[in-house]
Amino acid sequence: MNNSLPDETTMYQALLNKDSSFEGLFFVGVKTTGIFCRPTCNARKPKKENVEFFPSTREALLNGYRPCKLCHPLGYQGEIPAWLKTVMDEIDNQPDLRLKDSDLKRRGIDPNRVRRWFKKNHGMTFQTYLRTLRISHAFGRIKYGEKVIEAAYESGYESLSGFTESFKKTTGFSPIKSTQNLMIMITRILTPLGPMLAGATEEGICLLEFVDRRMLETQLNRLKKLFKAELIPGSNKHFNKLDKQIKEYFDGTRKEFTVPLVIAGTAFQKQVWSALQTISYGETRSYKEQAEIIGNPRAIRAVARANGDNRIAIIIPCHRVIGANGELVGYGGGLWRKRYLLNLEAENS
């Protein structure tokens, strides 16, 4: 048993009592059913000898357990909590809004609680988040013809110099160069397998990767070079559609995606990624079959490398490519996620 877990007697008692104070500390696998649950699950309680405990959903999945359909242990962690939602709705309706700690207190919200939530879920403070939103909206206005000074004052800045300094610090270039530069807006999309980093231009989605993917920073740097763009946290018209379709996919109700994509890469990579999109939901192919489909049967290793360079996971389904012997190999998000995605599609085909 993992040493970071409470002792088994304590965990089993918490399971019997549906003790919510243990939420997130452990998950329980039921050997007789092959499912795993939260400590607070309302399902009939198994005997102690029929359970084993795991520190994370990842460990439970790796040990072959399926998520319980009653308590949903693969919940969308990081979703906006109810106490913060009214403020976030307010910001969505007015992206240039400025909110000080005193403003949050007047709304009955503890600023420290907000700060902690944003650091945990977005890697930045609440004020940095607001400032970044203001800058991203100002960039859009300037890029499409508005004067810099007008964008500065409409964004709530009291001086042009202060706006210019903040703009340059956030984007890496001065406001007057907005018409010459492209910015890729970045946000987090929540999934049962952990958060994903999404990126989009005005034309469509160009990035969708699990945030703990190996070499994610390398992929982001490649993306910046390919698009000659800066990456900045912010909103984009494609994010709501992407979020909705990803949730539908994990709910088992969506088998095809219609969100527009913007794909940058070599001619060979684009050929491989195009072939990936012809693999139907619930089906798999080998790397050899992929090489044959693109008319280059000897390029198995090159096809595998191109698969690994895919920056739009799930929608461009590189998880559907497996080894010739049927083994699961080569997935940047981790083989445990690949197994889950294939099982999800098999169950809903």
Report which secondary-structure segment, H or E, holds 139: helix 126-143
* More confident: 150 or 313: 313
Instruction: Determine how many CB atoms are found less than 10 A away from the CB of residue 42.
Output: 11
DSSP 43: S
Catalytic residue among 41, 71, 206, 318: 318
Pick the CATH number of 182-349 from 3.10.20.30, 3.40.630.30, 3.40.50.300, 1.10.10.10: 1.10.10.10
Query: Rounded distance, CA 191 to CA 315, Å?
Result: 14
- What pLDDT is attached to residue 167? 84
- Among candidate residues 194, 191, 204, 182, the one with its CA nearest the CA of residue 311: 204
pLDDT tens for 197-222 read 999 999 999 999 998 887 888 889 89
User: In degrees, to the nearest 5, what angle opens at C-alpha 104 toward C-alphas 102 and 110?
Assistant: 100
**Does pLDDT of 286 surpass 50?**
yes
- What pLDDT is attached to residue 77? 61
- Among candidate residues 54, 47, 41, the one with its CA nearest the CA of residue 15: 41
- What pLDDT is attached to residue 2? 46
**Does pLDDT of 3 surpass 60?**
no
Mean pLDDT computed over 275-279:
96
- CB neighbours of 193 closer than 8 A, spacing ≥ 6? 74, 210, 333, 337, 340, 341
pLDDT tens for 294-342 read 999 999 999 999 999 999 999 999 999 998 888 888 888 888 889 889 9
Mean pLDDT computed over 284-303:
93
* More confident: 72 or 248: 248
Q: How many CA atoms, within 13 angstroms, populate the side-chain half-sphere of residue 106?
A: 5
- CB neighbours of 28 closer than 8 A, spacing ≥ 6? 11, 15, 36, 37, 38, 39, 41, 51, 52, 53, 54
Report which secondary-structure segment, H or E, holds 200: strand 196-200
Percent of the chain with pLDDT over 90: 46
Q: Is the pTM value of this prediction over 0.85?
A: no
Compute the mean pLDDT over every residue in the chain, rounded to the nearest whole number: 88
Mean pLDDT computed over 284-298:
93
H helical segments located in 155-206: 160-171
- What pLDDT is attached to residue 1? 45
Do 178 and 167 contact (CB within 8 A), yes or no? Answer: no
**Does pLDDT of 195 surpass 80?**
yes
CATH domain 8-67 topology = DNA Methylphosphotriester Repair Domain (3.40.10)
H helical segments located in 172-238: 216-227
Least confident of 33-47, 157-171, 242-256: 157-171
- What pLDDT is attached to residue 239? 94
Query: Rounded distance, CA 223 to CA 226, Å?
Result: 5
**Does pLDDT of 150 surpass 60?**
yes
- What pLDDT is attached to residue 316? 97
- What pLDDT is attached to residue 153? 80
Query: Rounded distance, CA 95 to CA 190, Å?
Result: 21
Mean pLDDT computed over 88-110:
87
156: left (phi over 0), alpha (psi -120 to 50) or beta: left
Q: Is 318 a catalytic residue?
A: yes
Report which secondary-structure segment, H or E, holds 254: none
**Does pLDDT of 345 surpass 90?**
yes
Query: Rounded distance, CA 86 to CA 108, Å?
Result: 11
Residue ranges of domains in the chain: 8-67, 75-180, 182-349
- CB neighbours of 286 closer than 8 A, spacing ≥ 6? 321, 322, 323, 324
* More confident: 126 or 326: 126
Burial class (CB in 10 A: 0-12, 13-18, 19+), 289: middle
Write the CA distances from 291 to 174, 298, 302, integer angstroms.
45, 7, 9
* More confident: 348 or 120: 348
Dihedrals phi, psi of 291, to nearest 5 degrees? -65, -40
Query: Rounded distance, CA 266 to CA 218, Å?
Result: 17
pLDDT tens for 54-63 read 988 888 888 8
Homologous superfamily in CATH for domain 75-180: Homeodomain-like (1.10.10.60)
Instruction: Determine how many CB atoms are found less than 10 A away from the CB of residue 169.
Output: 10
Mean pLDDT computed over 140-146:
79
Q: Is there a common fold for 8-67 and 182-349? A: no
Write the CA distances from 282 to 258, 312, 342, 349, integer angstroms.
18, 18, 7, 6
